[in-house]
Each structure stands twice: as structure tokens, then as C-alpha cells.
Amino acid sequence: MKKTLLAALAAMMCLQATPALAENYEVNLTRKGRNVYKVDGKDIIIQTRYCYVYAYSEEAIFKSSGYGGEVIFFDSKDKCDVKAVFGVSKQKPGKYVVTVSREDDDWYEVFGTSSYIKTSSCLSLALGEEAYLTISPSGFGRLRFDDGDDCMVEAVYTKLRL
């Protein structure tokens, strides 16, 4: 009886001491903008903090932790903090009025949502600015600002929890 109780107590102590493990993913990343990396072959964007790695299909390990984590690049051995991970959103075709703020190059947050717009060669420094988002059936579109800036939209993304 005493041995059984000790064994059960030892097993419970082992369970309590076990740390929660983060998930690790092997990915190939291509830099799409400052602090914006796309997972090659997937509709997934990894947003980093102060990451200066100019990657083109570079192998990396993504260690996830909740909404963020860390990216470790194989070739350069650089480590970058991950702010968030995003998956492509199946936005219905149409015209929308949105309020956006520029987060990084070609990367705009849609106010009041967990959505982000990935543009191409967009120079607007929008900060809480109203814009017109047009999405075509193919998923591409345009983001038009009142000042005349007109940007091509590659996709609309939403934040993922891994």
C-alpha cells in the first residue's frame, strides 16, 4: 500500500514538473517586406519584430508559442521574434470602406478587426485613415485612399493561433 502511494505521488510530481512544449515547424521563408515573411508554398505570413534577414526561400525553424514565437534561420543562424502569424482570409468579393493603419512596408492593419491587408508597392503612410477596399472574385483587389494613393492588394489575412 505504501509503495503504491509513493509511486502515485512520484508520477504526479513528474506530471507537474513537465514543461509545456511549443510546436516547431520547418519552413522555407521569403522576405516580402520589413518584418513580413511568407511561408513558401502556403498562404501564411509571419510577422516579426526587428528582423533584418533578407531571405529568399531560406530554410528556417518556426517555434510557435500562442500567437507568436521565434524564427531561426539555418544559413545565417539569425533568430527573430515573431509578433504574429497570419493565414489568408476568404474575403467575399465586393467593395468595403475600411479604416487602416500602416504596420510595415505593404502591410496594413484593418482597425477593429484581426485582419491585415498585404499590398504591393503601396507608399501610403496611413494612420487610422479611411480607405476603399475592392476585392475581386480571384481574391486580389485594390486599396484606394482619399489622397489618391491606389495600391494593389495581394490578399487579406487574419491572425492565427497555433
Claim to verify: residue 36 and residue 48 sit in the same structural domain: yes
User: Do 101 and 122 touch, CB atoms closer than 8 A?
Assistant: no
38 occurs within a structural domain: yes
Separation of alpha carbons 105 and 64, rounded Å: 24
12 occurs within a structural domain: no
Claim to verify: residue 74 and residue 98 sit in the same structural domain: no
* pLDDT of 64: 85
Cα distances (Å, whole numbers) of residue 66 to 58, 63, 76, 134: 24, 10, 25, 32
Claim to verify: residue 106 and residue 154 sit in the same structural domain: yes
Mean pLDDT of all residues in 155-161? 88
Is 26's pLDDT higher than 70? yes
Average pLDDT, the chain: 83
* pLDDT of 41: 93
What pLDDT, in 10s, does the model give residues 97-145? 999 999 888 889 999 888 999 998 888 899 999 999 999 988 789 999 9
Where a domain ends, among 87, 106, 132? 87
Claim to verify: residue 68 and residue 95 sit in the same structural domain: no
10 occurs within a structural domain: no
14 occurs within a structural domain: no
**Domain enclosing residue 44, as ranges:** 24-87
* pLDDT of 105: 83
Domain total in the chain: 2
Claim to verify: residue 50 and residue 113 sit in the same structural domain: no
9 occurs within a structural domain: no
* pLDDT of 9: 32
Claim to verify: residue 35 and residue 69 sit in the same structural domain: yes
Instruction: Return the sign of the alpha-carbon dihedral for residues 99, 91, 38, 87.
Output: positive
Distance of CA 151 to the CA centre of its chain: 20
18 occurs within a structural domain: no
7 occurs within a structural domain: no
* pLDDT of 55: 93
Strands (DSSP E) found in the chain:
24-33, 36-39, 44-49, 58-65, 68-73, 79-88, 94-104, 107-110, 115-120, 129-135, 141-145, 150-160
Separation of alpha carbons 10 and 19, rounded Å: 16
1 occurs within a structural domain: no
Nearest Cα to Cα of residue 56 among 35, 34, 38, 82: 38
Claim to verify: residue 101 and residue 112 sit in the same structural domain: yes
Reported pTM: 0.74
Where a domain ends, among 87, 103, 122? 87
DSSP label at 162? -
What pLDDT, in 10s, does the model give residues 43-93? 999 999 999 999 999 999 999 876 678 999 998 889 999 998 999 988 889
Claim to verify: residue 62 and residue 34 sit in the same structural domain: yes
Claim to verify: residue 106 and residue 156 sit in the same structural domain: yes
Strands (DSSP E) found in 51-114:
58-65, 68-73, 79-88, 94-104, 107-110
